[in-house]
Structure 1
Amino acid sequence: MKNIKIKFIGLFLLGLSSLSYAQIEFGAKGGIGLSNTTIVHGVSNGRIGFLGGAVAKYQLGRDDVHYLQAEVLYSNQGEYSLFQEGGKKYKAFIDYINIPIMYKYYFDNQGSDFFIEGGPQLGFKVSEKFDEGEPERSNNVPKSFDLAFNIGLGYSINRKSEINLRYQYGLIDTYDFVSYDNGINRTSLLNLSFIYFFK
């Protein structure tokens, strides 16, 4: 009897996992973005970089318009610090692994339609590159973690291919300082990307 119960529970859990898996769509995402950081480098220019990674979308409810979308993205961010004398540009680049969790709403359930999205994002620094001689480098120390919020919109083609415009704004200070306070430095990233779901 005990063995029958164990087998029944096992089959039940397997059925639930299969049902859950069927509701998840996987895909790939790639795009280009313009990033910046508030305050820290004074006069600066944004960095144009790339982002890319994997996407998983889970349907909420049965009406085919509410979704939860999780992503794991490698993202080029940071900026160019400008030295006013001579206008020389110095790289102040930071790359992240970003994990956004987005609520996604499609305007209808016909397959090809617009959508809006919003949600929090965790960011983990994976690399940094600062040019030698960057005037403010001696005081500014990038932190290893970022927390941000994203909002966006896009257009879906048969729920298989999507074009997405998204804006990311940092919620916490992403730089520490050595000798004097450098203010609250928030990341920002405006990106245009393409998503393809493997259906």
Structure 2
Amino acid sequence: MKKVIFVLSMFATCFSSEVIAQKNVSFGPLVGVNFSKLTGNQPYSDWKTGSTAGIFINYSGESRFGVNGQVLYSRMGGESPNGASKGHLDYLQIPIMGTYYLNGRGNKFRPKVMLGPYIGFLLKAVNENDVSINPEGATRPFKGVDGGAAMGAGFNYAIGRMVWLNADVRYNLGLTQVMNTVSDVHNRSWGINVGLSFPLGEYSPSTGTLR
């Protein structure tokens, strides 16, 4: 976990310095759907559907590289193989991803690939009846922090002079154990996300827009 926090801190420091220096920044809301499960020998090893919502901030440099940071509410967990029960793990997730655009600034349609670490803070763990599956006690079943790698691909599309549609398909690979009572249990999830970005700071003088 210390390694995950260290990597996140390094990304955040680089992101902040670039933002201050360039100010080619946009931000906006994001919503999505995810399909998640837990690995290992535990009850929720099959895929289930959840939701994602939050805000994001983009930095796009003069080159094809950029950085994307997000703060998300994400409902993860899994379903029992026979479909009899579901476990919902609600996280506050913070992914920070390096972004590479497949074409240059000034294009209306910009495909992209993304990769970076994330950290998640468990808000609550309940079953389908909203009953806690992480009760208070000497040893709570689920850990309070999750960390891993986020990777994906998508595009930014200009729908107005100052507004961009952001869309991506993402895979989250949990690298830390999420349970105290069972070993080798990790989060896995696929997500489809859509957002709108609006300018923050200065425009690029070459295009008059932000990405």
- State the TM-score, normalizing by the size of structure 2: 0.72
Query: By how many angstroms is 1:105 displaced?
Result: 0.7
The one-letter amino acid of 1:115's match is K
The alpha-carbon deviation at position 130 of structure 1 amounts to: 3.2
Whether contact under 8 Å (2:119, 2:148) holds in the other structure is yes
What's the C-alpha RMSD, in Å, of the aligned pairs?
A: 2.8
Q: Quick one: distance in 1 between partners of 2:185 and 2:18?
A: 43
Contact 1:40 1:140 in 2 (8 A): no
CA-to-aligned-CA distance 1:120-153 (integer Å, 9 cap, x gap): 0010000110368xxx989970100000101100
Cα distance in 2, alignment partners of residues 145 and 192 from structure 1 = 23
SS at match of 1:176: coil
* 1:34 corresponds to: 35
Supply the AA of the counterpart residue of 2:48.
R
1:30–1:88 Cα change, 3 Å: closer
- Which residue of structure 1 lines up, in the alignment, with residue 3 of structure 2? none
What is the rounded CA distance, in whole Å, between the counterparts of 2:19 and 2:98 in structure 1? Answer: 23
Q: Distance in 2 between matches of 1:19 and 1:81?
A: 47
Q: In the alignment, which residue of structure 1 is the partner of 2:143?
A: 143
Name the CA shift for 1:175/1:59 in 2 (closer, same or farther; >3 Å): same
Unaligned residue ranges in structure 1 (runs of 5+): 1-15
Alignment of 1:1-199 (within 5 A): 20=21, 22-41=23-42, 44-60=45-61, 62-63=62-63, 65-82=64-81, 87=82, 89-109=84-104, 110-130=107-127, 141-158=141-158, 160-177=164-181, 182-199=182-199
Cα separation, 1, equivalents of 2:18 and 2:112 = 28
Letter in 2 for 1:25: S
From the two aligned structures, give the one with the greater strand fraction.
Answer: 1
Q: Deviations over 1:52-84 (max 9, x none)?
A: 100011224x22x211110000001001124xx
Q: 1:34: Cα distance to partner? A: 0.2
Greater relative contact order structure (CA < 8 Å, 6+ sep): 2
Q: Which runs of 4+ in 1 moved over 3 A?
A: 16-22, 136-140
Q: Which residue in the other structure is 1:11 paired with?
A: none
Give the secondary structure class of the aligned counterpart of 2:51: strand
Q: Distance in 2 between matches of 1:100 and 1:19?
A: 20
Aligned equivalents of 2:19 and 2:173: distance in 1? Answer: 37
CA distance in 2, matches of 1:152, 1:49: 18
Q: Answer whether contact 1:130 1:137 (CA < 8 A) is retained.
A: no
* Alpha-carbon distance between aligned partners in 1 of 2:152 and 2:108, rounded to the nearest angstrom: 19
User: Is the CA contact (8 Å cut-off) linking 2:19 and 2:25 kept in structure 1?
Assistant: no
If the length of structure 1 is used for normalisation, what is the TM-score?
0.77
Contact kept? 2:44, 2:86, Cα under 8 Å: no
Percentage identity across aligned positions?
A: 22
- The structure having more radius of gyration, on CA atoms, is 1
1:10-43 per-residue CA deviation (whole Å, 9 max, x = no partner) reads xxxxxx9996583221111111010011014257
